A and B are shown apart, each in its own frame.
Chain A
Amino acid sequence: EIVLTQSPATLSLSPGERATLSCRASQSVSSYLAWYQQRPGQAPRLLIYDASNRATGIPARFSGSGSGTDFTLTISSLEPEDFAVYYCQQRSNWPPVFTFGGGTKVEIK
């Protein structure tokens, strides 16, 4: 089973700053990785899929990169609504098992 490890657990930043979040897989997942944002009291929403493709309606300040085992979600300039928890996720080939990372909380400094 592939394990996803996210770091840091918490990121304390100010609005306008750049956020860099990391997700490391225990074995290669090629480019099959997604990122989700979850605001307090809300359901998660898809931000990035296939490591670097923005989902519909996601602002350009969100970008994803990486392949293999190391992935990064970058928020170029934090807006107030971006303070939330972010999860990475992958799906193993067979049998299909979906795995999430433990999450990174981006909080206001």
Chain B
Amino acid sequence: EVQLVESGGGLIQPGGSLRLSCAASGFTVSSNYMSWVRQAPGKGLEWVSVIYSGGSTYYADSVKGRFTITRDNSKNTLYIQMNSLRAEDTAVYYCASVIGSNWFDPWGQGTLVTVSS
């Protein structure tokens, strides 16, 4: 069974840094496109970043220059390093596999990041 499990969320002060992890089982992270999607409290879904199997990375304008997506093939784990965090980065962060180059499936259960002083 394919499963994604996020971790690393928590309360962080504005300007701080946090790294989220997404451990995968049942498939190989490095062979798939992988992405992060976030959801602010009570709001809709917002795509954050994607990493292609070849290693290319892309970001939403809202996080470009502050967030970095990476993966550890030996641990079969996806990461996102979040720097210079702002209140508007407060959200549940989901990792997801990207199928057919376009669609998110499956999704992890999400991890909550709260940016507040």
Bound state CA distance, A90 and B50, in angstroms? 14
Contacts of A101 in B (CB 8 A): 44
A96 and B50 contacting across the interface, CB-CB below 8 Å: yes
B44 and A102 contacting across the interface, CB-CB below 8 Å: yes
Contacts of A50 in B (CB 8 A): 100
Contacts of A91 in B (CB 8 A): 101-102
Q: Does A43 contact B (CB under 8 A)?
A: yes
Least CB distance, A16 to chain B, in whole angstroms? 28
Known contacts A43-B94, A91-B101, A100 near B45 by CB under 8 Å: yes
B47 and A99 contacting across the interface, CB-CB below 8 Å: yes
Interface residues of B (CB under 8 A from A): 35, 37, 44-47, 50, 58, 60, 94, 99-110
Contacts of B103 in A (CB 8 A): 34, 46, 49, 89
A89 and B50 contacting across the interface, CB-CB below 8 Å: no
A-B contact pairs, 9 of them (CB 8 A): A46-B104, A89-B104, A91-B101, A91-B102, A98-B102, A99-B47, A100-B44, A100-B46, A103-B44
Q: Chain A contact residues (Cβ within 8 angstroms of B): what range?
A: 20 to 34
Contacts of B58 in A (CB 8 A): 95-97
Q: Does A55 contact B (CB under 8 A)?
A: yes
Bound state CA distance, A95 and B56, in angstroms? 11
Contacts of A87 in B (CB 8 A): 44-45
Least CB distance, B70 to chain A, in whole angstroms? 17
B105 and A46 contacting across the interface, CB-CB below 8 Å: yes
A45 and B107 contacting across the interface, CB-CB below 8 Å: yes
A43 and B102 contacting across the interface, CB-CB below 8 Å: no
